[in-house]
Structure 1
Amino acid sequence: MIDELALASLDALRKNTLVVVAEGNYGEYGLRSIESSPRWCLTVASCSPKEKFRSTVKFASDAPVTLEDIEGYSISMSSSGLNEDDDYRLVRTDGDIKNRKCIMVIEDDYIVIRPSSMEYNYPTEVPLVQITKETSNILCNYFELVAAQEGNLLAFIKASLRELVIDTPLVSEFSGRGPCSFFTEFMKPDLSAPGEHVAGCWPIDVPLGNPKVPYFFEYNVLSGTSFATPLVASGVATLIVEKNFTVSATISAAMTTADKLHDKDLFPYEFAYGAGVFNLEKAMRPGLVYEETADNFEKYCYPHRNFDKFCFNLNLPYCSATFPSGSQGWDCKFYRKLRSVEKGRCTYFAKVKFRVATIKVPLGSIEFKVVPDTLTFEGENDEQSFALSIYLPNTDSSRYSFGLVSGSLIWVKETEEADEAELVVDSPIILSSRNIPYQ
């Protein structure tokens, strides 16, 4: 079988051209739902936004129904000139607003409120607040209870949508899960980026919404890994242009500075979100980078698939390998090289953290060693090598149908000034059993 994407992207790598790939929207099939994703490409998963603009629905204190504030999240593309300091009274309508079905609207000035479980996400010319189906039912029940009190429907919505809700992103349910179905020895996806409810331009002659009741608009709101990928692609293009990085250095910078999702139990961990959520600001100052050549990729990966050498010898910005299930002791050794992209002399110290193990081994019993564990770089472009050894006493699976160990190799820069920001180079470690099932 010939993988055209792999061959074309390898040739692009030789010309210092980075190929950024959407991992696909087959997450419902579970593990190994990424079909083809060459290890020299940057593969992007979708996650929810880190920031949401919140609006709040409130009931008056003397209303027949009393409950806590109901929060909705705006995906509006228009403010329609509403006064952001005012509360607007909610009224119910059974009709359409400019041919858009709605639950209820603001009196005089329109704000459409719609449950998020509706089949289609319509872009609108009026402000829109997306709420849960449960919240929608509560609001509709409220209006039914007070229907007899005509003109006294005491529910209000705050027009201001400026309040930000910062939350840890979650991997989108539709986003594919790694590892790649053909090559389970390496980590995919590489990065995550927001890919839910993305607003963008749309051909005005292409209908939107329900095919039975189409309408036309110059914008659309869609979700998918294809909408997360352009965000990463534009960011890494900035790295290549502004920092004059090679393709592999760009991938390294993007992955080792990503915002981590380690505080969430997001099984299958790195196989769901990669190194984390892409952060361009941090990627502009990676400190150190891992680099590899197209010749070495071809040497280890084609045509003989020397995965035993590929996993441990290729200078990748992560450490990934597979181990045999049921083994009473398994060890591996990764060889890596780092290049400094900072001016001046600097020193980094190694830390290794294991967060999750689905094998019958306590995290504290996993043995590891970094040699050397201190790297000193004399200046920009200076290179230093090291080796990471890992030993698993037992590889029997305990929690899932296959074994998995998730962790990080972190290089921390020595700081001389007390107020100097800590610079870290965080490389994922993902070890998994060889019998990763299709789901």
Structure 2
Amino acid sequence: MTQPQAASNKRETTPTASTDRLQLDGGGSPSRSLQLPPLAAYIHIPWCVKKCPYCDFNSHTSQSALPEDAYIDAMVTDLQQDLSLAAGRELTSIFFGGGTPSLFSAASLGRFLDALNARLPFAADIEITLEANPGTFEQAKFVDYRATGINRLSIGIQSFNAEHLKALGRIHDDREALGAVEMARRAGFDNLNLDLMHGLPHQSHEQAMADIDQAMALAPEHLSWYQLTLEPNTVFYSKPPTLPEEDILWSIQEAGQQRMAAGGYAQYEVSAYAQPGKQARHNLNYWQYGDFLGIGAGAHGKITYADGRIERYWKTRLPKDYLAAGKDVCAGRKVLTTEELPFDFLMNALRLVDGVPASYYAARTGQSLASIEPLLQQAATKGLLEPWADQLRPTERGRLFLNDLLELFL
């Protein structure tokens, strides 16, 4: 049995399904119903002021002024190339991630949103999230973001402890972290996520709890709380810092979850906690196996086609290549095979505390649930999966040992 899985370095990340349907099974022959899922859009801005030593995201520092206009132009071209994938479907959510998207002006992001809305309809209650770091906050700038239609902020706090922020290489301090939330509220944002990390270098149990208490005192609608892990291709991986012992990590995890539950933040995913009705709709779409366009350098997308194919694709990673005139920015595509679909679906769905309706499996993969029943039975026998007649849901043990659960479906 492997060690329990913690949500690691994965900052923030039920729409009504389309009525479009077709008949197919996993091999493409007509026999059962597959239903086109909701469609979202992920927009990647790849620049940061400084690359954090733990970060394995596609982010890059720039020694000169950012090419905002050129990058927005490139993303509009990218979007135009992807329009056939969307097939005119309505967007239920949009997420500007990075990097640090708040380095771009509201005018630039607004120009892209206008271009997007001119090509695809937005749901009346669309959720539009912008990732922002405290060191980039300016009051007028965030008022302008709100005016563009951005209605949710995900703020990369990570810690309220000045020494821990320094150890993590963050560009802000504890005062700026507190000030960012205040400015966001003054700018009119009433839907905030705060990113927090635990298991930080030399962090004690008491310090981790102090971060949670401070976060809840600010009353954000959503908290993303995840453990620092040492990812390949990062500074921390090549030069590991001293992290808390395993028993301290366990105590932080258990006490932190209890503390947030007592404070009104229900855990609904491995690293996600929310006030009632404030779950991240964009991330729920990922976990419920929805579709999403991926626009921007290094962005990934997933699309269900009308003929039943499910494809994942990704864009050119380096900004200079992405900006190169006349270059095809799609770096690769992969249509998932019948054998790959169970794992691909479940690695998302089983991150959710309540899982997903069992009917979603057939509706969103085109395969019958009966086709993986022997594997489901193995998972249940091992105590990793609840009975699955109505809901595909991990047990508490299954959530703790999620990798063991998912390996059954490889």
Superposed pair shares fold, TM > 0.5? no
- Structure that is richer in strand per residue: 1
Which structure has more relative contact order (CA 8 Å, sep 6+)? It is 2
**TM-score (norm: length of structure 1):** 0.23
Asked which structure has the greater CA Rg, the reply is 1
TM-score (norm 2): 0.24
Larger helix share, 1 or 2: 2
